[in-house]
Chains A and B, each alone.
Chain A
Amino acid sequence: MAEFLQFTFSGLTVGAVYALVAVGFTLIYNASDVVNFAQGEFVMLGGMVTIFLGYAGVPVPLAAVIAVLITTAVGLALYRLGIAPARDASAVTLIIITIGASIFLRGVAEIIFDKRFHSLPALFGSDPIRIGGASILPQTVVVLASALLIVCLLWAFIDRTLYGKAVIATSANRMAATLVGINTRTIVGACFAISAAIGAIAGVLVTPITLTSYNVGTLLALKGFAAVMLGGIGSAIGAVVGGVLLGLFEAFAAGYVSASYKDAVAFLVILAVLFAMPQGLFGKRTVERV
């Protein structure tokens, strides 16, 4: 029983990280149908900028705020310089642009920062909380709570504000949205900025668990993307559930099967789910109007 509990905690720890990364995908997807593969680099930037400002003597909380602001600016720049000029291109082309941006950001980070791994102190220390013979780190709870908080804020933003309605309108039909007076460029740009900010916050919060270096973004984005597909792309709560489930699959596979096969087991489960529910757990079925 203690073992089962420990595997669950392990799954929650890893899952919380995936969930927080996955949430960042949803907003940009909702506004522009683009899966932003540079999302992992936003996470990396959040962590790395905080760490290096910390080395330079800036107090960590202030450094984290500056890191989020810088990453937001990078997100806006990605939209202005990469996505906006190609706005008439297909979603696939735009996705390829985000892959290019992710490689570019990684290269720049490698030069500006360094190639080593770094860590940040956990928010509430690293003494584990012990429950029933198993233990969980306080930071895991922080990450999970933040993921849920961000989902709530996103929901309030999308469903309860005029700007949120504009995002929905832009995603539903950009031409029609423009005709009713919505500045779709501003909306999509804002979505890139907010997603970048979410990514950076994720980076600051998960670094005490995962550690970080210039190239952690790729793997985080890949796992986050798997979580998004499982939860249903475009759904924020789906991203969180997908992330936590993916983490749990991995932990139970590592615990009860073998650590060597944990990724394979996790992806097999995802495939099985997607066979039964191609739109993911919380995804809306899209209907093509002909």
Chain B
Amino acid sequence: MIKIAAVVVGLAASVMAGPVSAQVKVGAVLSTSGPASFLGDPEKKTLDMYVEDINRQGGVNGQKLQLVVYDDGGDANAARTFATRLVEEDKIAAMVGGTTTGTTLAMIPVFEDAQIPFISLAGAVQIIEPVRKWVFKTPHTDRMACEKIFDDLKHRKLTTVALISGTDAFGKSMRDQCVAIAPKAGITIAHEETYGPADSDMTPQLTKIKAAAGIQAVVCAGFGQGPAIVTRNYRQLGIEYPLYQSHGVASKQFISLAGAAANGIRLPAAALLVASKLPDSDRQKSVVVGYQTTFEAKTGQPVSTFGGHAYDGLMILVDAAKRAGSFDSGKLRDEIERTQNYVGTGGVVNMSPTDHLGLDLSAFRLLEIKDGDWIMIPDSAS
């Protein structure tokens, strides 16, 4: 009789213990198909890979993570629907993802209302400015890219530039940021052109830039294949000014698309891109080399900074959960905001109540393309 009672009690205990050790759901809405899939695809692979890894090592605070991923196809409406589903049906504890600025902005109200921490993987500065209580992000902003490029231009004593930007969200946002900070940085934007993201020839715009008076350098703000065509057309027209691209094209793919025309182009990019070339004294070296090796071994694809942003998002979340001791949404949020000296693939993160990104300009390295590879331009020597 006592035995049976013990079994019953044991059963009851295990049933009651169930919810405590149950899995914690982490949500992600990523654009793994559609036009932004080259961002969303490595992000998803990274999250899958590292959640599995974390669970193999016993999870976080004794709880296993369960990743719930939806594919929005790059569509902001779909993203919002999935965000609502994550909140209402899946009851997630935290959210990593939102591949593009458009999908992220569409999802922000859902997570603000539900009071669930949301770490976005999208670029634009609007996501964290103004600061929203529950929203964070890991990638560098386009404003930082402009600042980094303008810094280098000033070092080279080139102050009058032409700007060519894509008419997609990324190009427009970066154009706006560059135009906004140019006066403060002492740079004059003397001529501006745009191109459609699917255009296959940009020579008319570049011809006008070539003909404009007083230009000393050209900055191209865009991502995808557009900047590769701009680069090819730039060489085709034989324009001699230095050409700067944005972090939006910081991948080996850009070099292979632009071919020999890419020689001499400068661009700001995360340390991940030059992982093996970093000096051993660099704080980020072990993190970026580790991520690169793991990603490339698991997927057989070259590493991209976009997957790195997902890695940073997940690790910031996990670190915060460990410090908070639970996945209670309020405590988790506070701890994410207290992230200090987190060394990630994107840079060293120091968040604060007024800064939900936590990166400074040192997170960007200035690279030059030479013979199909990147070389680092030291900050002082440029």
User: In the assembled complex, which residues on chain B have CB atoms less than 8 Å from the CB atom of A211?
Assistant: 200, 225, 228-229, 257
- Residue among B204, B229, B257, B261 having the largest count of chain A Cβ atoms under 10 Å: B204
Q: How many A-B residue pairs have CB under 8 A?
A: 85
Question: Given the known A-B contacts A126-B259, A259-B195, are A116 and B38 also in contact in the complex, defined by CB atoms under 8 Å?
Answer: yes
User: For the complex, is A59 an interface residue (Cβ under 8 Å from B)?
Assistant: no
Chain B min CB distance to A166 (Å): 37
- Contacting pair A6 B203 (CB below 8 A): yes
Cα distance A13–B196 when bound, in Å? 16
Query: Which chain A residues numbered 220 to 273 have a C-beta less than 8 Å away from chain B?
Result: 251-252, 254-255, 258-260, 262-263
Q: Among residues 224 to 271 in chain B, which have CB atoms less than 8 Å away from a CB atom of chain A?
A: 224-225, 228-229, 232, 236-238, 253, 256-257, 259-261
Chain A positions within 8 Å of B35 at CB level: 215
Q: Scan residues 97-126 of chain A and give those whose CB is less than 8 A from a CB of chain B.
A: 110, 115-119, 126
A17–B229 alpha-carbon span in the complex (Å): 15
| Residue numbers in B under 8 Å from A128 (CB-CB) | 236-238
The smallest C-beta distance from A205 to any residue of chain B, in angstroms, reads 13
- Say whether B115 faces chain A, with CB atoms less than 8 Å apart: no
Whether B224 lies near A115 (C-beta < 8 A) is no
Return chain B residues, CB-CB under 8 Å to A195. none
A5 to chain B, nearest CB (A): 10
Enumerate B7-44 residues with CB–CB distance to A below 8 Å: 33, 35, 37-38, 41
Chain A CB within 8 A of B211 CB: yes
Known A115-B37, A117-B224, A126-B259: A255·B204 in contact at CB below 8 Å: yes
User: For the complex, what is the distance from the CA of A110 to the CA of B224, rounded to whole Å?
Assistant: 16
- Asked if A279 lies at the interface with its beta carbon under 8 angstroms from chain B, I say no
Q: Is the CB of A14 within 8 A of B201?
A: yes
- Quick check: is B205 within 8 A (CB to CB) of the other chain? yes
Which B residues are in CB contact (< 8 Å) with A216?
198
Q: Is A3 interfacial (CB-CB < 8 Å)?
A: yes
Contact present for B208 and A255 (CB under 8 Å): yes
Q: Is the CB of B201 within 8 A of A209?
A: yes
Q: Are B259 and A219 in contact (CB under 8 A)?
A: no
Whether B253 lies near A10 (C-beta < 8 A) is no
How close is B204's CB to chain A, nearest CB, in angstroms?
A: 4
Is B362 an interface residue, CB under 8 A from the partner? no
In the bound complex, CA of A210 to CA of B228 (Å): 10
Name the CB-closest residue of B to A6: B207
Asked if A254 and B205 make an inter-chain contact with CB atoms under 8 angstroms apart, the answer reads yes
Which of B33, B201, B224, B228 contacts A10 (CB under 8 A)? B201
User: Which residues of A have CB within 8 Å of B195?
Assistant: 259
Q: Is there an interface contact between A119 and B167, defined as CB atoms closer than 8 Å?
A: no
A213: chain B residues at CB < 8 Å are 225
Asked whether, in the complex, the Cβ of A117 is within 8 Å of the Cβ of B200, the reply is no
| B334 CB-CB contact with A under 8 Å | no
What string of 1s and 0s marks CB contacts (under 8 Å) between B200-226 and chain A? 110111011001000000000000110
Residues of A within 8 Å of B257, CB to CB, are 117-119, 211
B229 and A260 form a contact (CB under 8 A) = no
Chain A interfacial positions (CB closer than 8 Å to B): 3, 6-7, 9-10, 13-14, 17, 110, 115-119, 126, 128, 130, 134-135, 137, 209-211, 213, 215-216, 219, 251-252, 254-255, 258-260, 262-263
Interface residues of B (CB under 8 A from A): 33, 35, 37-38, 41, 167, 193-196, 198, 200-201, 203-205, 207-208, 211, 224-225, 228-229, 232, 236-238, 253, 256-257, 259-261
List the 9 closest pairs (A to B, CB-CB), nearest first.
Answer: A210-B200, A115-B37, A255-B204, A254-B204, A10-B203, A117-B225, A128-B236, A6-B207, A211-B225
A211-B229, A260-B194 are known contacts; what are 11 more A-B pairs with Cβ within 8 Å? Answer: A6-B203, A6-B207, A10-B203, A13-B201, A13-B203, A14-B200, A126-B232, A211-B225, A252-B204, A255-B207, A263-B196
8 contacts across the A-B interface (CB closer than 8 A):
A6-B237, A7-B204, A110-B33, A117-B253, A119-B228, A128-B236, A128-B237, A260-B167
